[in-house]
Structure 1
């Protein structure tokens, strides 16, 4: 079994909070991990119709059977038990009594904030990171293979070919999770919307353009974006507010949490197709952004990533906001360093009167230049403390 970086944080949270909720997309390894970490706790799957019916019809009776503690899997399926769970948690100071998992962040967060605020710690578990998958490797794996294959555990643990796994994952996600969140009548239109969104990976979110191409209104598009975001299919990278007296772009950029899913949606199934595809650079950027995301979520930290762009087109791909300092990052898919890579960061440094920045790319030349800008291979970044 591949060791997950989030292990220590989950164990630590279970010693100080009465319950721990592990959220994330379906098939990201939540159930496998919590069952391994808490082998003495009874495992209860609320996807099971009989178990779910019992929990919904007699929540007191259901929880009475598990007073000593348990793992409740896909707990967002039974929102009625949260108020009763509050009673049990308040009756004892025992930490780590219940471990909850859920694949819908909106539904789970909503129920926790209403009934269990202050009693439950929440950690998002995303698919494998490159650090987890290649922990013993000293040289970078082929980023194109990784982009194509993605990082969902079943593709590695069960050896299912990516071109077979992702279409079925998408079909299951639409049939089960989308219907659970919102009663979308025309799932074919919704699937077309996801494919259109995949073609905008790394681009600004333009609701009007998406609505026109999908054939629905902008309110519907906004609602569907919310569904994909809350179920960990897409991530919206918000613009940073620092303007340096410049007029800034205010729309977020769209990234999918997994490049393998994007490739499947775009019909990219071979490395040759990927290398020739116009979105290859955006897919590499998406790989790096999600690796940065996983560093934060695996440590149980708030995500502090943004991007910066002004109305004249000057842009920095990622801004890491550390509170007292900002780290600008440029992401480049090429393997050969050239002066064009430094333009965005040099412009930022001139505006901000600082000397810092990081270029993450697929090449091996790593250095720190006199202007304070460093260059780093993407895999070195994935295994570092950036």
Structure 2
């Protein structure tokens, strides 16, 4: 009967908001004693879990009174919720985890506690130390284009989408991006950054973020960033770790197979949301973006993050890499499926050009791969005899590649 209840909850939820991560969270809750939903601040974690588990008491550890109770008397606090609860921003009360372990071990019941957090490092640190094997984790990023536009056939305008971004508050209640992102950035720096590391000069940290935004889609060069920011490389490395653990940036690692080539070993930088990048760069309209020198990088960022969301929403490991050798040959994305490698080349143009195929043809010959994809902003689709397919970016994110 539990399976009937799970199916009912999913059907009810799907009528309200179509988040593709919903069925995976429900599935995990039916197998594990607890589920942790992590992701950036304002990605919709609280709304999602409260809608999926309406029968559970909700408590936010951001609330000073609730947090004080949890920290001063964790056993008494948890004793009030023996039937289970939703603990939001649970990393704010790390003392709870040891007592949670004891409570979870006392009962075989699944889906008892739902935990959320916007700091992956602190949450995972506590889970690995005390709740390993008892908690399943899913990363919930901002809306995917499938969440918002999956029912329509035509791709949304990529320029408008890049500037607007995909954070939920921009769509409901509909706060204008130029108003929402500066306030989001201020809240993130004042609260999340201070929680992870006591940075004394937050103005310098914000300048660092703006410099990093200008390097979206490029290799991470710690020395260059340190010089431009005016701090040492160890500080830059620490700040990169903060942004990565709080789901602001993703570091795309180079693929490890070298095919007898000397490879670039530095990761590439991508922000999880293009709207935040545009705000940091002062790009406020689609017209400004269309003329901006970083438009190609931002389009690439959009596609990469959509591929990331495809995997995180399904609870899968991220198997995305890039490949570049010392002579400049590069493939934007290599999908490592274990027994096969699938290369993707991302192009912001709307017209298919013979130069689009150069990198993929070289890499396929080198690696022995049988297929590949040109992912671009145009609508024309075709399959070449070489095994390379040309596909629109929005159509690509709907497929399982």
- Fold shared per TM-score above 0.5: yes
Report the Cα distance in structure 2 between the residues aligned to 1:248 and 1:218, rounded to whole angstroms: 23
- What is the deviation of 1:228? 0.2
Structure 1: unaligned runs, 5 residues or longer: none
Q: Over residues 88-115 of structure 1, what are the superposed CA-to-partner deviations in whole Å (9 max), with x where a residue is unaligned? A: 0000000000000000000000000000
2:397 corresponds in structure 1 to: 382
Report the Cα distance in structure 2 between the residues aligned to 1:371 and 1:12, rounded to whole angstroms: 40
- What is the deviation of 1:271? 1.4
Matches within 5 A, 1:1-386: 1-386=16-401
Cα RMSD (Å): 0.6
Structure 2: unaligned runs, 5 residues or longer: 1-15
Question: Do the aligned residues in 1 keep the contact of 2:138 with 2:312 (CA within 8 Å)?
Answer: yes
2:10 corresponds in structure 1 to: none
Q: Tell me, what secondary structure is at the counterpart of 1:15?
A: helix
Question: Do the aligned residues in 1 keep the contact of 2:341 with 2:369 (CA within 8 Å)?
Answer: no
2:5 corresponds in structure 1 to: none
Report the Cα distance in structure 2 between the residues aligned to 1:129 and 1:272, rounded to whole angstroms: 23
Q: Tell me, what secondary structure is at the counterpart of 2:395?
A: helix
Question: Do the aligned residues in 1 keep the contact of 2:342 with 2:369 (CA within 8 Å)?
Answer: no
Report the Cα distance in structure 2 between the residues aligned to 1:163 and 1:114, rounded to whole angstroms: 41
Q: Tell me, what secondary structure is at the counterpart of 1:308?
A: strand
2:7 corresponds in structure 1 to: none
Question: Do the aligned residues in 1 keep the contact of 2:21 with 2:140 (CA within 8 Å)?
Answer: yes
Report the Cα distance in structure 2 between the residues aligned to 1:281 and 1:257, rounded to whole angstroms: 16
- What is the deviation of 1:2? 3.0
Report the Cα distance in structure 2 between the residues aligned to 1:364 and 1:271, rounded to whole angstroms: 19
Report the Cα distance in structure 1 between the residues aligned to 2:372 and 2:363, rounded to whole angstroms: 9
Q: Runs of 4+ in structure 1 displaced over 6 angstroms? A: none
Q: Over residues 123-149 of structure 1, what are the superposed CA-to-partner deviations in whole Å (9 max), with x where a residue is unaligned? A: 000000001101221111100000000
How many residues matched?
Answer: 386
Report the Cα distance in structure 2 between the residues aligned to 1:19 and 1:345, rounded to whole angstroms: 43
TM norm structure 2: 0.96
Q: Tell me, what secondary structure is at the counterpart of 1:14?
A: helix
Question: Do the aligned residues in 2 keep the contact of 1:335 with 1:362 (CA within 8 Å)?
Answer: yes
- What is the deviation of 1:355? 2.4
Question: Do the aligned residues in 2 keep the contact of 1:2 with 1:133 (CA within 8 Å)?
Answer: no
- What is the deviation of 1:306? 0.2
